[in-house]
A and B are shown apart, each in its own frame.
Chain A
Amino acid sequence: RKEVEQDPGPFNVPEGATVAFNCTYSNSASQSFFWYRQDCRKEPKLLMSVYSSGNEDGRFTAQLNRASQYISLLIRDSKLSDSATYLCVVNTPGGYNKLIFGAGTRLAVHP
Chain B
Amino acid sequence: DAGITQSPRHKVTETGTPVTLRCHQTENHRYMYWYRQDPGHGLRLIHYSYGVKDTDKGEVSDGYSVSRSKTEDFLLTLESATSSQTSVYFCATTGDTEAFFGQGTRLTVV
Contacts and interface: CB of A to CB of B under 8 A. Distances in A.
A34 interface: yes
Given A45-B101, A96-B56, A101 B94 contact: no
Interface residues on A, range: 20 to 34
Contacts of A100: 45
B48 A98 contact: yes
Contact of B103 (A43, A87, A97, A99): A43
B74 interface: no
Interface in B8-47: 30-31, 33, 35, 40-45
Interface in B81-110: 90, 92, 94, 97-99, 101-104
A49 interface: yes
21 contacts: A32-B97, A42-B104, A43-B103, A44-B43, A44-B90, A49-B98, A87-B43, A89-B99, A91-B97, A95-B50, A97-B30, A97-B31, A97-B94, A98-B48, A99-B94, A99-B99, A101-B43, A101-B44, A103-B41, A103-B42, A104-B42
Given A43-B104, A101-B43, 9 more contacts: A42-B104, A43-B90, A43-B103, A44-B99, A96-B50, A97-B50, A99-B99, A101-B42, A103-B40
Interface of A: 32, 34, 36, 41-46, 49, 87, 89, 91, 95-104
